[in-house]
Structure 1
Amino acid sequence: MKKLLLIIMLFTLFVSPFSAIAVSNNQAELIKEFMDNAMEEYNIPGASLVIIKNGDLVFQENWGVQSNGSPVTNDTLFTLGSVSKPLTSLGIMMLVQQNIIDLDQAIDTYIPSFTYNQNGHEQKITIRHLLSHTSGISSYEGLKIAELNLRGKDAINDAVQKLNNVELNHEPGKVHQYSAANYLLLGKIIENVTNQSFTEFMNEELFSKLGMNQTVSNYKSASELGYQPGFQSWFGKPIQSENIYDDSGAPYGYISSTSNDMAKYIQFLIKGEGLLSKQNFETYISPQVSRKEDMYYGLGWRISTKENDSFFFHGGETPDSRSELLVNSEKNYGFILLTNKNNISEVLQTTYMKEGIKAIIENGKLPESPKVTHQMQWMTLFGTTLLALLSVWNLFVLKRKSTIRKKMWIVVGLTSIICSIALIPALTYIFGAPWHTINYFAPDTAFLIKCLVGVLACNGFLLLSIIILEKKRRHFLKKKSIRMKLFHNR
């Protein structure tokens, strides 16, 4: 009887884990197949994915290469983009726990040198407002101070100086406006209250305590760890990026990390212990402002409150990278996907990948990767080509005409020049983004727009030049005719 009980116990101990591993292996194969398909479909040069389940690392895989041709590994550095925001928020919450910062205290207390125009609004900006993007500082103002490629220990301070005297467009606390400016100011607050650089504080108080020894927040440290810039996408084709790494942007977008290190961060998020008290951790991942039905923004997190499908997550992008972080506390899993290519027109590609990975983990089913389109680029190319052909045709017709309707062609020429001058300002207004942002995040479209500006300007100047030359020619012929008549009349 004892032998039978011993056999049953051993069977239970060994068979159950193998059964769990079999399910995990099945999911792993589905994830690999899904990722292989997505990497090919979306033409992504390199990616790294790590999945944590019940606090344990259950999947880690890498695909493709970096821009220098070396393979992506578990220790390859990727810029996190806006996934930097939850890390900055965690740094703030650690200072809250130490009673150095109060979430509902006006920011004037911590950065008195920074001033802003309240524009008639009564409420002062608080730390909570910055964390939840409800400060009243617009998205456009945030983009103006982003991707400036500032480097060095004073980079954050220099960017804050550029933001100084910003005008609020809403009452603080009332409207959610996603803005890099909010997290830039949080970075400056951390520097002021700790008398450390943002990099030093994050390294000593956060990264080292989580064992994230290859996570850095400035270009010098990243380059020492072998950081390689990613790829910008031109009509879906990856082209090696310029070396864009904005030290001033570390609090909102330029922390860089590896899948190994981010696995440790996700383990902290799932366990909810180690750096913060239970109360402060709950605040850290709590909804703050409603964005749409069942979807909120918290203190550096996007949060789904759907019944039976609640989770918190954040996506991130720089001009040459994209990342997706998702944690489901109820189902005890989380993952991060790091990729090294980006274009604003391809923003949904990693979102599809995130949703696909989530579906495999939760349902064990292989989803399809939606097909890619480059509609924005093709439409711009079509418009540019059409206008170029139309301009050539206009010049050809104008050249052949013996009699020029001067007023009509002057209007056409002037309109063309005015359009060339106004096109880029109009687009920045329509898209709510400065030109340098469009140039970085949609380089192919920006190039075509510049070509379009050139076509319009050349068309206008050539039309006016032809009219002016024709006028001079007629004036010359008229004078010549008068001289001939005078000569014959003698």
Structure 2
Amino acid sequence: MLIRLWRRTAAGTGEKLRPHACRAALLAALLTLCGTAAPASAAPREDTGREVDRYLRERMAETETPGMAYAIVDRERIERVGTRGHDGRGKPVTNRTPFLWGSVAKPVAATAVMGLVEDGRVALDRSVRSYLPGFTLADREAAADITVRHLLTHTSGIPERTGATDRFDRHEDPYGEAVDDLASVTPAAEPGTRHLYSSANYLLLGALVEAVTGRSYADHLKTAVLDPLRMDGTVATPARAARLPDGHSYVYGRPVAVPARFDRTGPSYGYLGGDVEDLAHFAMAHLAEGRLGKSRLLRPDSVRAMHHGTARVHDSAAYGLGWRDDDANADLGTRTVWHGGAAPGYHAAVVLLPDTGRALVVLQNIYGYFQDSALAATSLGAARILAGGTPEDAGEDPAYKPLLAVGTTVAVAVAAATGWTLFRLLRPAGTSASRRRVALTTAVWVLLGAGLAHGAWFAVPDLLGAGPDLVRLYAPDLGWLLVAVAVGGSALAVVRLVQGLTLLRRARDGAPSSPARSVPADTEGV
């Protein structure tokens, strides 16, 4: 996953969506307390469902989302399912259409780990090395101090960028090889000192589950979580991933189909998927403190511990054991326990409103780095309505269009400058410039081209918190513009260097910069 995505959603959108007004919370509480009022409470719930449906329809149009599925649930049943639009193959979205869930995989993985904790096979405050003896970082002492709890709460100190996630090549031992690759990663903080969101934490949890159970992560997840919760459409293996339709990315603001991707270590951190009813069942189980119907998945105290934020993210939110604990709807009388996620071409969110006894799941088959806040606002805004409030407007990142405009302009200018230089190399014109001036001009152009190439390939992706490959994955328009600028800048530097050396050689040899014109003998001296 592009690692800053969750942080932007959590620290940005969650803050922006805090409303200005409060309504209906007192009425909902009174209706809940009055047993004789139960029949009358159905109408407000139905009205709220229609409001959510209308809002999601509007947001779908505003964000140009091709396909969407959502579900409203309580502790006992799915109240409402809505589907609209089409998938990446052009087929209508249904309640069985699979979507990738992105980082919503994290609370699912945390649920599997907490099951092992209840069984006494894992202890939250034991060192990760107790279960993964080969795990280390560049700072071996820091790695030895990392506990299971640190991984669950993103307080291990492992940085955002590790190179161990979002890998789509085949490996014999995906988790084992990814863990080995962390050995060169330098921690960004001491374990337990601060919250640093990193998908590598949950990659390690997937490896830990495999080490403890002696089974593949996908197999254990199926028997421990998916089957008990009747999540029969979940995508957690390459075979299941093959049936995923294309998702969509934004290219110059318009949706374009992109192939669904799958990382074999991803089911524990960001490449788990499934249909809307699968995720609805998961939300119901957590809303009911670990139970779905007669099936008990976790003890209530375990679920409460998961939902309780202990690692401070910012003033209004903390991170628990796989869940974000937010006060965005506190003015409406409810906590907000949620997680969002993004994978190439997809966005997902599950939002629990524990004090209302309801939850919302929203799946969208589009994603863009610069549209992250807008897509997250769709889910959080709908949850705000479900809680009895009014969502605020949310648009795309204001930097998106200026970045595209600048990138396009620079790419065109570099291509034009390179083309003109090549033309002058092939058809040189005369020049009276001194060798000093030629050398200085050449140096300026070479430095300019090299600087553009370095900035496009390294500096800009670094500012976005990713490598060039991840920028192309999550913001393909900007990503390929950066490739064009990097290649063009390198080419410009090379052709300008060749041109400069050619001019300097001619000046040294005393040769004219352009071919001499021959003069007919019979007109000589005329």
TM-score normalised to the size of structure 2? 0.81
Q: Is the 8 A contact 2:453 2:487 kept in 1?
A: no
Determine whether 1:287 maps to 2:304: no
After the TM superposition, which residues 127-146 of structure 1 pair with which residues of structure 2 at under 5 Å, given as runs?
Answer: 127-141=148-162, 144-146=163-165
Specify the SS of the correspondent of 1:247.
coil
Superposed CA offset, 1:391-421 (max 9, x none): 6678899966722321221212320342144
Determine whether 1:331 maps to 2:356: yes
Determine whether 1:458 maps to 2:491: yes
Q: Is the 8 A contact 2:421 2:499 kept in 1?
A: no
Determine whether 1:319 maps to 2:336: no
Specify the SS of the correspondent of 2:82.
strand
Q: Is the 8 A contact 2:100 2:273 kept in 1?
A: yes
Superposed CA offset, 1:243-286 (max 9, x none): 41111111000111111111111111111032112222221212
Who is 2:248 aligned against?
231
1:432 to 462, 465, 481: 465
After the TM superposition, which residues 237-276 of structure 1 pair with which residues of structure 2 at under 5 Å, given as runs?
Answer: 237-273=254-290, 274-276=296-298
Report the alpha carbon displacement of residue 293 of structure 1 after superposing the two structures with TM: 0.9
Report the alpha carbon displacement of residue 462 of structure 1 after superposing the two structures with TM: 2.5
Report the alpha carbon displacement of residue 177 of structure 1 after superposing the two structures with TM: 1.1
- Which amino acid is 1:377 matched to? L
2:481 to 439, 448, 457: 448
Determine whether 1:103 maps to 2:124: yes
Specify the SS of the correspondent of 2:463.
helix
Closer, same or farther: CA 13–290 of 1 in aligned 2, 3 Å: closer
Q: Is the 8 A contact 2:309 2:319 kept in 1?
A: yes
2:454 to 405, 414, 422: 422
Unaligned 5+ residue runs, structure 2? 1-33, 291-295, 517-526
Who is 1:6 aligned against?
none
Report the alpha carbon displacement of residue 57 of structure 1 after superposing the two structures with TM: 1.7
- Which amino acid is 2:373 matched to? L
Q: Equivalents in 2 of 1:433, 1:372: separation in Å?
A: 17
2:379 to 354, 377, 380: 354
Q: Equivalents in 1 of 2:212, 2:244: separation in Å?
A: 30
Who is 2:511 aligned against?
477
Q: Equivalents in 2 of 1:173, 1:286: separation in Å?
A: 17
After the TM superposition, which residues 67-216 of structure 1 pair with which residues of structure 2 at under 5 Å, given as runs?
Answer: 67-118=88-139, 121=142, 124-141=145-162, 144-151=163-170, 154-216=173-235
Closer, same or farther: CA 21–122 of 1 in aligned 2, 3 Å: closer
Specify the SS of the correspondent of 2:167.
coil
TM-score normalised to the size of structure 1? 0.87
Q: Is the 8 A contact 2:309 2:318 kept in 1?
A: yes
- Which amino acid is 2:431 matched to? S
- Which amino acid is 2:151 matched to? L
Q: Equivalents in 2 of 1:345, 1:408: separation in Å?
A: 40
Report the alpha carbon displacement of residue 215 of structure 1 after superposing the two structures with TM: 1.4
Superposed CA offset, 1:154-175 (max 9, x none): 3222322222343323211112
Give the paired residue count.
465
Who is 2:241 aligned against?
222
- Which amino acid is 2:289 matched to? G
Q: Equivalents in 2 of 1:105, 1:366: separation in Å?
A: 42
Q: Equivalents in 2 of 1:152, 1:256: separation in Å?
A: 21
1:32 to 40, 53, 75: 53
Specify the SS of the correspondent of 1:164.
helix
Q: Equivalents in 1 of 2:94, 2:150: separation in Å?
A: 38
Q: Equivalents in 2 of 1:283, 1:135: separation in Å?
A: 18
Q: Is the 8 A contact 2:373 2:395 kept in 1?
A: no
Superposed CA offset, 1:117-157 (max 9, x none): 3366496110000111111111111xx11111145773222
Specify the SS of the correspondent of 1:135.
coil
Q: Is the 8 A contact 2:453 2:485 kept in 1?
A: no
Specify the SS of the correspondent of 2:326.
strand
Q: Equivalents in 2 of 1:368, 1:187: separation in Å?
A: 37
Who is 2:432 aligned against?
403
1:380 to 402, 407, 423: 407
Q: Equivalents in 1 of 2:83, 2:323: separation in Å?
A: 26
Closer, same or farther: CA 317–401 of 1 in aligned 2, 3 Å: farther
Specify the SS of the correspondent of 2:195.
coil
Closer, same or farther: CA 121–301 of 1 in aligned 2, 3 Å: same
Q: Which moved more, 1:113-122 or 1:237-246?
A: 113-122
Q: Is the 8 A contact 1:212 1:261 kept in 2?
A: yes
Identity level (%): 24
Q: Is the 8 A contact 1:420 1:454 kept in 2?
A: no
Report the alpha carbon displacement of residue 30 of structure 1 after superposing the two structures with TM: 2.4
Q: CA RMSD in A?
A: 2.8
Report the alpha carbon displacement of residue 334 of structure 1 after superposing the two structures with TM: 0.7
Determine whether 1:467 maps to 2:487: no
- Which amino acid is 2:248 matched to? F
- Which amino acid is 1:314 matched to? H
- Which amino acid is 2:186 matched to? E
Q: Which moved more, 1:464-473 or 1:241-250?
A: 464-473
